Amino acid sequence: MIGRVNHIAIAVPDLSSATATYRDTLGAKVSQPQPLREHGVTVVFVELANTKVELLEPLGETSPIAAFLEKNPAGGMHHICYEVDDILAARDRLQAAGARILGDGTPKLGAHGKPVVFLHPKDFTGTLVELEQV
């Protein structure tokens, strides 16, 4: 059901500083910051040959990653995103198997303009999983 890794997301307390580290220290190509109001984050993508790294910064006080950064003030891995061919079929199959979809289960548009859903980390060995339709 799942395809390739689309991206690995890292929550950061300071997006400008994290972007500079990846761009200037590691020599990576990085995108411009993109606010995603519906998700409560601003993101930058570090583009690699085989996948992407998504750097996430809270967008407002009610951001879903604010609590994560309170527990991990220096930041850290937040989630991993896998590609799927059909987001609704994947969601339905997972729910039938007992997996919990976060929110009301309705896919939202992600940073790439494609539908995404998030899976509860307690159902996936402590890792928040994002599925993105390709």
In the set 54, 57, 83, 130, the catalytic residue is: 130
- In sequence order, the 6+-apart residues with CB closer than 8 A to the CB of 40 are 58, 59, 60, 62, 63, 64, 65
- Residue 116 near residue 108, CB atoms below 8 Å: yes
End-to-end CA distance of the chain: give it in Å, rounded.
12
Confirm whether 57 is a catalytic residue: no
| Catalytic sites, residue numbers | 130
